[in-house]
Structure 1
Amino acid sequence: MFRSLIFGACLVGVVAGLLLTAAQSMGVTPILLSAEQFEIREPAMASAGHGHAEEAHGHDGSAWAPDGGYERLFFTGLSNVLAAIGFAAILLVFMNQLRAHGRITLTPAHGLLVGLLAYLAVFLAPAIGLPPEIPGTVSAAVESRQTWWIATVALVAVGLGMLWLARGWKKALGLPLLALPYLFVPAHPEGPLFEHPDETAVSALNALHHEFIWVSAATNLFFWLVVGLLCALVLKRVTETACENNEHAAA
C-alpha cells in the first residue's frame, strides 16, 4: 500500500505540476516578465548586461539563475512537479485516513472538496495577509514572512479540519484558529509599495501587482482542484487493487 501511495503521488505530481506550469505560462509568467522590465539595476550590473531579479534586489551578481525562454520554463516545471509530488503525498495519506475511518468516499466530488480546502489553507489564507508579490515590491523581511506563512498554513489547516471533521461543540474550536494568524501579520515597511522613481512605472507596477494577485489565485485554485481530483481517483484505484489482491490471497 505504501509503495502504491508513493507511486500515486508521483503520478499525480507530474500531471498536476505540468498542468500548473502550462497555466502559469499563460497567465503568471507574462506578468512577472512585464514587472521585471521595470526593475532598477546597479550601473555596473546594467553595463554588464545582466537583468535578473536577484541582481535588482541587491543579491550577488555572480549568483546563478536560469536564462529566459526554455531554460526558465524547464526549471519552473521541475520545481512545480516536485512541489506537486509532495503536496499529493500529503493529500493521499490524509484522504486514505479519512477513507479508513469512513469520513469520506473516494468520489470526484470529495476529491474536489479536499483540494478546495487545501487551496484555502495553503494559498488563500496566507494571501489574505501577505498577497502574492511581483518583482520590485517593497515587503517585510523574508524570514518573518516565511515564519508567518508556515504558522498560518498550519493553523488554518487544523481549523478547517476541526470545522469539517470534529463533532458537536468541538467544531467551534476551529474558528479561533482561522482568525489567529491575522493578529500578527508581518508589518509592511513604511512608504510606497514600489520605490521606482518614475511615476508612470509605479502606476504600471501597481496595475500588474493587482492583476498578479487575481491570476495567481485562479492558477492556484486550478492546481489544487486538479490535485484533489486526481488524488481521489488514484486512491480509489489503489484501494480497489489492494482489495482484489487480498481476495486472491485469501482464495
Structure 2
Amino acid sequence: MFRSLILGACLVGLILGLAMTAFEALGTSPIILAAEQYETAEPVAHHHDHADHDHGESAGHHHGDDAWAPADGAERLFYTTVSNICAGIGFAAILLVVMNQLRERGRMTPKVQQGLLLGALGYLAVFIAPSIGLPPEIPGASAAALELRQTWWIVTVVLAAAGLGVLFLATGWKRLLGVPLLIAPQFFVPVHDGPMFANPDPEAVLALTELHHRFIWASGLANLGFWLLAGVLCALVLKRLADKGRLGHVNAAV
C-alpha cells in the first residue's frame, strides 16, 4: 500500500508541478519580472544592499555580488519547474495519506467532489491562513527576518490544518475547539518596522504597490488551481488503487 501511495504521489506531483509552472507563467512570473526592474535599479548617488525576500512561489531568491541565481529564460524555467514538481509530490503525498486514512475509517469516499473539498481545505490551510498575516511578497518588498517568517508559516499551516480537521471531523461542541487553532497564529505575526518598499522613488513605490496587489491575487488564483487540481487527482488515484485492491479495508464510520 505504501509503495502504491508513493508512486501515485509522484505521478500527481509531476502533473501538479507542470500545471503550477503554467499558472505562474501566465500570472505571477510577469509580475515578478516587472517588480525586479525596480528592485535592481540603483538610485542616483545611492548604494545599498538588497535583503532576502520571498516571491510567493516555490523557491527563494537572493541578491548580491557572490550570490548565484538561475539565468532568465530556459534555466530559470527549468529550476522553477523542478521546484514545483518537488512541492507537488510532497503535497500530493500528504493529501493521499490523509484521504486514505479517512477512507479506511469510512469518513469519505474517493470521489471528485470529496477531492475538491479536501483540496479546498488544503488551500485554506497552506495559502489563505498564512496569507492573512504575511501576504505573498514581490521583489523589493521589505519584511521581517526570513527565519521568523519561515517558522511562523510552518506553525500557521500546521495549526490551520489541525483546526480545519477539528471543525470538519469532530462532532457537537468539540468542533469549536478548532477555532482557536485557526486564529491563534494571527496574534504573533512577525512584522517589519519601516516602509514596505526600500526603493526611495515615490513613482516606483506606487508601481510596486500596484504590482504587489496584482501579485497577491495572481498567487491566490494559481494556488487555488493547484490545490483543487491536487484534490481531484488524488481522489482519482485513490479510487483507482482502491478498485484494484491495493489499499486497506474500509472500517465503519464512528
Contact 1:13 1:88 in 2 (8 A): yes
Partner of 1:142: 146
Rounded to whole Å, the distance in 2 between the matches of 1:226 and 1:163 is 23
Alpha-carbon displacement from aligned partner over 1:97-148 (angstroms, at most 9, x marks no partner): 0000010111100000000000000000000000000001011111111111
* Equivalent position to 1:174, from 175, 178, 192: 178
The structure in which a higher percent of residues are helix is: 1
> CA–CA distance in 2 between the matches of 1:242 and 1:109?
22
Residue aligned with 1:105, SS: coil
Residue 6 of structure 2 is matched in structure 1 by: 6
In structure 2, the partner of 1:89 is: 93
Asked if the contact 1:54/1:61 (under 8 Å) is kept, the reply is: no
> Do the aligned partners of 2:4 and 2:246 also contact (CA within 8 Å) in 1?
no
TM-score, normalized by length of structure 2?
Answer: 0.88
Residues 162, 173 of structure 1: 8 Å contact kept? yes
Q: Which residue of 1 is the match for residue 56 of structure 2?
A: none
CA contact (8 A) 1:194 1:202 kept: yes
Q: Which residue of 2 aligns with 1:46?
A: none
Larger Cα-atom Rg: 1
Amino acid at match of 1:36: E
Residue in structure 1 matching 2:199, options 188, 196, 206? 196
SS of the residue corresponding to residue 242 of structure 1 reads coil
Per-residue CA deviations over 1:21-78 (Å, capped at 9, x if unaligned) read 00100110000000000014679xxxxxxxx9969x9854222210001111111000
Q: What is the deviation of 1:180?
A: 0.5
SS of the counterpart of 1:186? coil
| Structure 1 unaligned spans of 5+ | 44-51, 247-251
Is the CA contact 2:92–2:230 (under 8 Å) kept in the aligned structure 1? yes
- Cα distance in 1, alignment partners of residues 51 and 15 from structure 2: 29
Determine which of 191, 200, 214 is the counterpart of 1:187. Answer: 191
Q: Amino acid of the residue matched to residue 33 of structure 1?
A: L
The one-letter amino acid paired with 1:143 is: E
Q: Distance in 1 between matches of 2:51 and 2:116?
A: 36
Q: Alpha-carbon deviations, 1:182-223, whole Å to 9, x = none?
A: 11111222x221121211111100000000000000000000
2:115 maps to what in 1? 111
| Alpha-carbon RMSD | 2.1
- TM-score when normalising by structure 1: 0.89
1:215 pairs with 2:218: yes
Identical pairs, percent: 61
Would the aligned equivalents of 1:119 and 1:224 in 2 still touch at CA under 8 Å? yes
Secondary structure of 1:61 counterpart: coil
Q: Distance in 2 between the 1:95 and 1:39 partners?
A: 43
Q: SS of the residue aligned with 1:38?
A: helix
- Contact 1:122/1:153 (<8 A) preserved: yes
Name the SS for the 1:37 alignment partner: helix
Residue identity in the other structure for 1:152 = T
2:232 matched to 1:229? yes
* Number of residue pairs aligned between Structure 1 and Structure 2: 235
Contact 1:35 1:134 (8 Å CA) reproduced: yes
> For the structure 1 residues 59 and 38, does the alpha-carbon distance in structure 2 shift closer, same or farther, using more than 3 Å as the test?
closer
Q: Does the 8 A contact of 1:39 with 1:53 survive in 2?
A: no
